[in-house]
A and B are shown apart, each in its own frame.
Chain A
Amino acid sequence: MRDLLKCKLKAITLRLSNAKILAIIEVESKRMVSSRRFKAMLAIMMLPDILYLLGSGNVSPALGGTKVCFEEFWRQAGELIINFWTGLPAQLLAILVASELIAGEFNEGTFKLLMTKPISKSSVVMGKWIAFVICMIIVSLPSLLFLALIVSIVYKGWWDALVSLVSYDVLVGEAAVLLGLITFGSFTMLFSSLFSRPLYAALSAFTLMALYQFIVPNLSWLENPARYTLSYQLGLFLEECGFVLSPGGRLYEGDLQVMLLTIYSVNCLLMATSMMAVYHREVK
């Protein structure tokens, strides 16, 4: 029985490791990670860590005790997630990375090669999207982990610092950053499937994204229009998951399940539309 299970497991592993989509994920992730855009994104995502590292000496635990300082840190981290790690600079970089995914292949002419291989167009799109998600994890996790490590060393000591790397707060923070970046990526992927130049895809996606974020909060005929923006929903996600973003009470109101379902549906819709766009495209 044990041998049979072992064999089955081996067969499944072998089949998975030989799956065509895995080849796309592997190659795309490597290509993205070695790109300059990715390195720039990684550097910019680490910026808050460097600033915090330089400024951490200003906060003295003696003022309110280490617990207060630690809580204050996570409040600031929550703000960073909303305003920086999923804010305009990160959006721009995520868009730049995602715009290369399909439009880059059209631009280089390599999409024709993929189209003449026995792999479905949806697998190509899906493989590239998964590679993007992996890259976003690689790009966002170190900055969050590093910040958690610094603050834990400052306020708690080395051992607790190491333990805090797998803490609930880090996981929630990472989930929020990923939700934001992946949504921007999926949105850009749609434009990447429509255009043959990554620059056009990036410009269109960024313009639309920026316009949406600036216009929607100012629509007076909507009740609390800001809640229709992604940053508001990410704030809601963080608060629902235990982050205290305002010492005076909750800043964001809403239903976590509805929010998650909406983001999931939007991403699925964007992916499906990207697949359809690629399916109907001709490669000259």
Chain B
Amino acid sequence: MVENVIETEKLTKFYGERCAVYRVNLRVTKGVVYGFLGPNGAGKSTTIGMLVGCLRPSYGRVKIFSLDVFKHRIEVMSRVGYLPEKPVAYRNMRLEGFLEYMGRLEGLTRKEAREKARELLEFVGLGRLAVKKVGTLSAGERQRLGFAQALIGDPELLILDEPTSNLDPVARFEILSKIRLLASEKGVTTLISSHVIPEVGRVSDYVGIINNGSLIAQGPISDLIAQEEDEYLVRVSDPERLATRLLERDYILEAKFEGKDGIRLRVDVNNAHKLWVELPEVLTEEKLALYGFKPVGDPLERLFLRKVGVA
């Protein structure tokens, strides 16, 4: 039986008359990386606020590790690591001291917390800044510190609200790799909220898409994008001849000419691999010169845009 680490039931939140989150039934199974996608203002942070017990739902329930978050807050939070959307820390504290404090609040002894703090500062690449004050850090460094803070209690569940905002591409890559590493090596279940879809697609197994406060899609990425199409741009010496040959195949849904030597192919995502095998064969048979071949866009991005009603 699949064990749900996060389970919400008709989770609803009103701010006055404005409904921020409406009847969200989130299911995050153990050991997965769950991408929580949505445009700005869709209700991601409000939902997360309710998951970590900072906001009270107007209606509905939140269960983490099968425990009600509001009735068993301390038990639940001792197993959860949380990175807020805007990472905050005490400006006058040193990085090491701040992490040590957070560790002690997680129940570690002073010595354990100090050791763990040093280890995590190295892990997130801030080891050389250990004695610096938090107030002197850049936004990206503070984000890394926030990530370390979330990991200090060796959590079984990580809830990361926009973990890569403020980060440069290298740091983004590093943090995402670390999230993946934690999931694969330590089995840490992770919920990442973001509106940067390709990033989420790269690390997640599951996604949930929220728009206007409602969860409009949820499930394994492979299942969700199965209904989507892949797009490829092929540049060849005779595009018309190639299009004629390819359209004989049922997995090619559409071929549009682009420029004097290009064709944009829309391919059934489940059989996209066939194109990779058969395209070289067709090119050889027809004696066509290939100038270029590249996938266009991201099926997850297309799914997201379609679901939120943009495409």
Contact = CB atoms under 8 A, between A and B. Distances in A.
A119 interface: yes
B91 interface: yes
Contact of B84 (A18, A24, A109): A109
A284 interface: yes
Contacts, number: 78
Q: Classify chain B's interface size.
A: 20 to 34
A47 B108 CA distance: 43
A120 B73 CA distance: 8
Contacts of B80: 116
B105 A117 contact: yes
Contacts of A109: 84, 86, 88
A282 B55 contact: yes
A27 B49 CA distance: 26
A119 B89 CA distance: 17
B261 to A, nearest CB: 54
Interface string B46-60: 000100111110000
Interface string B71-104: 0011101101010101011111100000001101
Interface in A213-267: none
A160 B108 CA distance: 47
Interface residues of A, number: 24
A66 B278 CA distance: 111
A108 B91 contact: yes
B102 A113 contact: yes
B149 A113 contact: yes
B6 to A, nearest CB: 15
Given A108-B88, A108-B91, A120-B74, A20 B104 contact: yes
Secondary structure class of chain B's binding surface, majority of residues: loop
A39 interface: no
A112 interface: yes
A23 interface: yes
B92 A282 contact: no
Interface in A30-57: 31, 34
Contacts of B89: 110, 113
Contacts of B93: 27, 31
16 contacts: A27-B90, A31-B92, A108-B91, A109-B88, A110-B89, A110-B90, A113-B89, A113-B149, A115-B53, A115-B54, A117-B77, A117-B153, A118-B78, A118-B106, A118-B107, A284-B54
Interface of A: 14, 17-18, 20, 23-24, 27, 31, 34, 108-110, 112-120, 282-284
Interface of B: 49, 52-56, 73-75, 77-78, 80, 82, 84, 86, 88-93, 101-102, 104-110, 149, 153
